[in-house]
Structure 1
Amino acid sequence: MIIRFKITSALITTVRDDLRRPHPFAHERVGFITAGLAAAHDSLLILARSYEPLRDDEYLRDERVGAMMSEQAIRRARQAAMDSHAAVFHVHTHGGFGIPGFSGVDDRENAKFVPNFVSVAPQSVHGAIVLSDTAAFGQVWVGRAGPRPFITRFSEIGMPIKNWRAAA
C-alpha cells in the first residue's frame, strides 16, 4: 500500500512552532493533527486539515518519557475524531535534520493509545507522526488489529513544494 501524507507549509510551521514551546515540566510537547482521507486501489492519501495542541494541564508528570498525555487529552482527541469523522495523528518532534524515526518509547506508547481512535472512528485510519526540523516519519493503524504500515511519502505544500520518502 502506498500511503502519502500532505500538509501545507503554513500548517506544518504552526505545528513545529507549537512543539518547540517550553512546558513547565514536560521535556517535549505533543499534539494531534486531524486529516481527511482519499483512497483508490492500493493508495491512500492523507490530507492534513488542522492541528490541536495539548493544553498545559493535559500533561502528566512522568520522568520516564519526554511527555505523557492525560486521559483527558486522549478523550478530547477521540471525541474530535468521533464528531468530525476525521483521521487523527498524534504528533511530536525529535528536532534535528533529515528523516526521524520513532523511539522505543514512541513505539510502545503509540501501540497503547492509537488503536483507541480506531474504536471511536473506525471509518478512518489513525496514526502517529514524528517530525524533525526538515522532514517527518509516520505510521498508520488500519483497524485495531490490522496492519500498521508506514507512511510512504510526505509532501509539504507551499513555495517550494517539498517531498520526502519516509518508508520503502
Structure 2
Amino acid sequence: MNIRFKITSALLKTIRDDLNRPHSFAHERVGFISAGLAAAHNELLILARSYEPLRDDEYLRDTRVGAMMGDQAIRRARQAAMDSRAAVFHVHSHGGSGIPGFSGVDNRENAKFVPNFVSVAPHSVHGAIVLSNTAAFGQVWIGRAGPHPFVNQFTEVGMPIKNWRAA
C-alpha cells in the first residue's frame, strides 16, 4: 500500500512551534493531528486538517520518558475521533534534521494506545508521527490487529512544496 501524508506549511509550523514550547516538568510536548482520508485501489492519502496540543495538566510525571500522556488526554482525543469521524495521529518531535525515526519507547507506547483509537473509531485509520525540524516519519494502523505500514511519502504544501520519502 502506498501511503501519502499531506500537511500545509502553516499547520506544520503551528505544530512545530507548539512542540518546541517548554513544559514545567515534561521534557517534550505531544499533540494530535486530525486528518481526512482519500483511498483508491492500493493508495491512501492522509490530509492533515488540524492540530490539538495536550493541555499542560494532561501530562503525567514520568522520568522514564520525555512526555507521558494521562488518560484524560487520550480519552479526549478518542472522543474527537469518534465525533469528527477523522483520522487521528499522535505527534511529537525529536528535533534535529533529516528523516527521524521512532525510539524504542515510541514503538512500545504507540503499540499500546493507537489500537484504542481504531477500536472507538474503526471507520478511519489512525497512527503516530515523529517530526524533525526538516522532515517526518509515520506509521498507520489499518486495523487493531491488521498491518501497521509506514507512511511512504510526506508532502509539505506551501511555497515551495517539499516532499520526502520516509519508508
Calculate the TM-score normalised by the size of structure 2: 1.00
Q: Which residue of 1 aligns with 2:94?
A: 94
Write out per-residue CA displacement over residues 11-44 of structure 1, whole angstroms, 9 at most, x where no aligned residue.
0000000000000000000000000000000000
| Cα separation, 1, equivalents of 2:131 and 2:138 | 9
Q: How far apart are residue 2 of structure 1 and its match?
A: 0.2
Q: Which residue of 1 aligns with 2:111?
A: 111
Q: What amino acid is aligned across from residue 140 of structure 1 in structure 2?
A: V
Q: Which residue of 2 aligns with 1:8?
A: 8
Q: How far apart are residue 123 of structure 1 and its match?
A: 0.6
SS of the residue 1:155 aligns to: strand
| Runs of 4+ in structure 1 over 6 Å off | none
Q: How far apart are residue 130 of structure 1 and its match?
A: 0.1
Q: What amino acid is aligned across from residue 141 of structure 1 in structure 2?
A: W
| Cα separation, 1, equivalents of 2:139 and 2:82 | 20
| Cα separation, 2, equivalents of 1:49 and 1:116 | 21
Aligned pair 1:50/2:43, yes or no?
no
Q: How far apart are residue 47 of structure 1 and its match?
A: 0.1
Q: Which residue of 1 aligns with 2:125?
A: 125
| Cα separation, 1, equivalents of 2:122 and 2:143 | 7
SS of the residue 1:17 aligns to: helix
SS of the residue 1:133 aligns to: coil
| Cα separation, 1, equivalents of 2:105 and 2:118 | 21
Q: Which residue of 2 aligns with 1:62?
A: 62
| Aligned positions of 1:19-58 closer than 5 A | 19-58=19-58
Q: Which residue of 1 aligns with 2:71?
A: 71
Q: What amino acid is aligned across from residue 101 of structure 2 in structure 1?
A: G
Calculate the TM-score normalised by the size of structure 1: 0.99
Identity level (%): 85
| Cα separation, 2, equivalents of 1:80 and 1:119 | 13
Compute the RMSD of aligned alpha carbons.
Answer: 0.2
Write out per-residue CA displacement over residues 102-156 of structure 1, whole angstroms, 9 at most, x where no aligned residue.
0000000000000000011101000000000000000000110000000000000
SS of the residue 2:36 aligns to: strand
| Cα separation, 2, equivalents of 1:103 and 1:2 | 23
SS of the residue 2:105 aligns to: helix
